[in-house]
Homo-oligomer: A and B are copies of this chain.
Amino acid sequence: MTIGFLGLGTMGAPMAINLIKAGFSLQVWNRSRGPVDTVAKAGAQACDTPADAARGADVLIAMLADDDTSRVVLNDGGALAALARGAIVVNMATVSLDFAREMQAKCDALGLRYVAAPVLGRVNVAEAGKLNILAAGAPDTLAQVQPLFDVLGQRTWRFGDVPEQANVVKLASNFMIASAIETMSEAAALTQGHGVPGADFLDMITTAVFAVPAYTGYGGAIAKQVFEPAGFKLSLGAKDVRLALLAGEAANVPMPFGTVLRDNHLDSLAHGEGHLDWAALSKVAARRAGQDDTTD
């Protein structure tokens, strides 16, 4: 099975390498050349264009930044057009539902099979091949790519026959992570307002009640007030919240936590904090409570 792989960012590169290690034959492309060389050293065939990476592939995996980048690479870059009829496109990026539908329509028109398989997990999890894979699409197509998922992840979760269903699950998941950051931010501002350092509160609550990485990671960053380097940029979080709200809008689902998150991300962006780690969302709650000069 030949695999085209587009997008060798911090997530894509280790995923590609894991597939190579598992014996798959990879044709890889990335916008910047550095990661291509790195992955080529691990055994992949380096390609100069998205179309080159796609040509002859049975499966094309895309792990690109967002809707726009995905569209540019897959469509405008000729990757889809270069695939043979019947080939499978596995989009593992976090994209909008509209984009998922757009891609599926293009694939339908080209005789390709499209599935969505966004993932949960950060870089270290990707490196360990322990991602959680959120998959949706035609069952038989998913069955064919399951061996790849087994290499990349610890578990594959299936969410329906329509690819965008996996995307809504991914957006709902990121919405929940944003909520975790916001609730820590408000709670820490609350205790701080009564003289209990937010850091002390967060240390306790992420140990005693919420001892999982989503809380300990972001909570630790808030406690230490360390927002650089960004593990996941606030501006990307803002994008995902926006996509979650759009998905809610499409199905008439009010999301009051989501809209609070929207406003607070905009507040962050308006204060030039989009480049910081997502945990910097906490600066909004502190600022609004007049605690922004306080450091503990």
- A positions within 8 Å CB-CB of B: 97, 120, 132, 134, 155, 157, 159-160, 162, 164-165, 168-169, 171-173, 175-177, 179-180, 182-184, 186-196, 200-201, 204-205, 208-212, 214, 242, 244-245, 247-260, 262-264, 266-267, 269-272, 285, 288-290
Which residue of A157, A253, A267 has the most chain B CB atoms within 10 A of its CB atom?
A253
Chain B residue, CB-CB nearest to A158: B200
Q: Which 10 A-B pairs have the closest CB atoms?
A: A193-B251, A259-B259, A270-B290, A254-B263, A179-B183, A252-B270, A172-B187, A132-B208, A253-B289, A256-B260
> A209: which B residues are within 8 A, CB to CB?
120, 132, 173, 176-177, 212, 214
Which residue of A168, A173, A183, A254 has the most chain B CB atoms within 10 A of its CB atom?
A254
- Return the contact of A191 from the options B169, B192, B285, B288 (Cβ within 8 A): B169
Once the chains bind, are B171 and A176 in contact (CB under 8 Å)? no
Chain B residue, CB-CB nearest to A173: B205
Q: How far is the CA of A269 from the CA of B249 in the complex (A)?
A: 10
Once the chains bind, are B253 and A256 in contact (CB under 8 Å)? no
- Return the contact of A251 from the options B97, B285, B289 (Cβ within 8 A): B289
Q: What 18 new A-B contacts, CB under 8 Å, besides A190-B255, A271-B290?
A: A160-B196, A169-B201, A173-B209, A175-B187, A182-B257, A190-B244, A190-B247, A193-B251, A193-B253, A253-B270, A253-B285, A254-B262, A254-B263, A255-B285, A256-B259, A260-B260, A267-B289, A272-B290
Once the chains bind, are B134 and A204 in contact (CB under 8 Å)? yes
Q: How far is the CA of A33 from the CA of B99 in the complex (A)?
A: 37
Closest CB in chain B relative to A163 CB, distance in Å: 11
Chain B residue, CB-CB nearest to A211: B212
* This chain: copies in complex: 4
> A270: which B residues are within 8 A, CB to CB?
252-254, 288-290
- Return the contact of A194 from the options B97, B188, B192 (Cβ within 8 A): B97
With A132-B204, A290-B271 as contacts: A165 and B196 at CB distance below 8 Å: yes
Chain B residue, CB-CB nearest to A272: B290
Q: How far is the CA of A182 from the CA of B263 in the complex (A)?
A: 15
Which residue of A186, A194, A196, A208 has the most chain B CB atoms within 10 A of its CB atom?
A194
Q: How far is the CA of A132 from the CA of B257 in the complex (A)?
A: 28
Closest CB in chain B relative to A123 CB, distance in Å: 16
Q: How far is the CA of A187 from the CA of B165 in the complex (A)?
A: 13
Q: How far is the CA of A195 from the CA of B164 in the complex (A)?
A: 10
Cβ contacts A to B, 11 pairs, < 8 Å: A132-B204, A159-B196, A160-B195, A175-B187, A176-B210, A179-B257, A190-B251, A210-B212, A212-B212, A245-B262, A253-B270
